[in-house]
Structure 1
């Protein structure tokens, strides 16, 4: 762990649990450029951690403090998610500068980092999120090439098994809302965000049968995660 403190932090509000983990990509040409920006007082942005492509991990903000990473954000009826989340920036040029797969060394470091975070905070598996999940009308990171399935198989987040029969399109907004997405946005925006997380390689916003089936599968997974938490 490399210490690289950012001035862009403040106290978390009292009484608000840290119950979300939000993963981002940096979307800049190089990791050094991203690290400098996250530590620039004029930029007013930060994250708790940054993970380089070679697996190095930088700590910018202590977990008990609030970092400025999520911006205007919503999940499961909550808004302003910086107050209740840990933010991890993952170095990748992003869609603007040449989006590419995340190296295995980097993903291993992300996994280890996330497992530690989850051990320290009451974050349910269903609240391991993409920036694009919580800001679907603004963000697309970490994107459709990110290995959510691999993380889930190693204990970070959720991933469905076999999909059920696809529901009709009328059921999609309620199901997406049950997963946690805000439902006051166009369906195509929500479907695109969902696909980036749950359908590798897809980000077309088309609610076809495989997408509808996967939405139903993830909604069921989230309900089961709630039951596990209440039974613990």
Structure 2
């Protein structure tokens, strides 16, 4: 009798611990990762403050990369949502916290002074650590080149990080990001110098890239902010938000189908 009672008790405990019985022998081929993009940020402060803000406040990120030394900290499991993107949109998807991995880089961003805005450069070792992390994430989640975004890409009306000194070309050289061919850009720039497209054309091309941009054909502040975000990424020497021939050439070359 005692043995029977013990067996029944063990069965009850096993049932409570294991939950419903699930058959996992079959796997659907129609699936992919919930992660669609990776969003890059800078922290605007030092390492100790960055760790405190990203672990003790409402804002969070999946990863934080220090400057010196370039240690990679995992703060949120990739299977969980981190609160890093806020109100955001890319390629029609909104509120990107649910579909992105956020990576913060320890960097003070910028300071405004009598000589204008001064940006802090990124430590080379920090960028190398980032490249390795990005390669790993993109391989595991089977993300295509071009899935890496700036915070300023997905929220151009309110964010400028990771800023004009972030080396996007280094990521492109590592195969992580499409990059416009310089010769093709120069050819198109010469043509656009003769006749610049309309503001509506710029808005359409920016939308094709993935940006949320007005479509009314007017060069308003919102459109300038989106143009500046694009320029900051692909032409950081001048990101004034002006629709010029070089920006038009960059947009056109980037928008061409890849072979």
Q: Name the TM tier (shorter chain).
A: 0.7 to 0.9
Contact 1:144 1:197 in 2 (8 A): yes
Q: Which TM-score applies when normalising by structure 1?
A: 0.83
Alpha-carbon spacing, 1:63–1:20, altered in 2? closer, same or farther (3 Å): same
1:16 Cα shift?
7.3
DSSP 3-state at the match of 2:175: coil
Of 93, 100, 111, the residue aligned with 1:78 is 93
* Alpha-carbon distance in 1 for matches of 2:95, 2:235: 27
The match for 1:140 is: 160
Alignment of 1:203 onto 2:232: no
Q: 1:103 aligns with which of 108, 113, 123?
A: 123
Higher RCO (Cα < 8 Å, 6 or more apart): 1
Report the secondary structure of 2:40's partner residue. Answer: strand
Q: How does 1:1-232 map to 2 (within 5 A)?
A: 17-28=34-45, 30-40=46-56, 43-54=57-68, 55-96=70-111, 99-162=119-182, 163=185, 164-165=187-188, 166=192, 168-169=197-198, 170-184=200-214, 186-220=222-256, 223-224=257-258
Query: Shift of residue 160 of structure 1?
Result: 1.2
Question: Structure 1 runs of 4+ off > 3 angstroms?
Answer: none
Q: 1:112-168 CA deviation, whole Å, 9 max, x = no partner?
A: 111111011132222210000000001000011100001110122221112151461
Provide the aligned length of Structure 1 versus Structure 2. Answer: 207
Would the aligned equivalents of 1:195 and 1:202 in 2 still touch at CA under 8 Å?
yes
Could you report, residue by residue, the CA deviation over 1:209-232 in whole angstroms, capped at 9, with x for unpaired residues? 111111212222xx42xxx7xxxx
SS of 1:115's equivalent in the other structure is helix
Please, what is the CA RMSD of the aligned residues? Answer: 1.9
Stretches of structure 2 that go unaligned for 5 or more consecutive residues are 1-31, 113-117, 215-220
- Report the CA distance between 1:171 and its aligned residue: 1.5
CA distance in 1, matches of 2:54, 2:130: 18
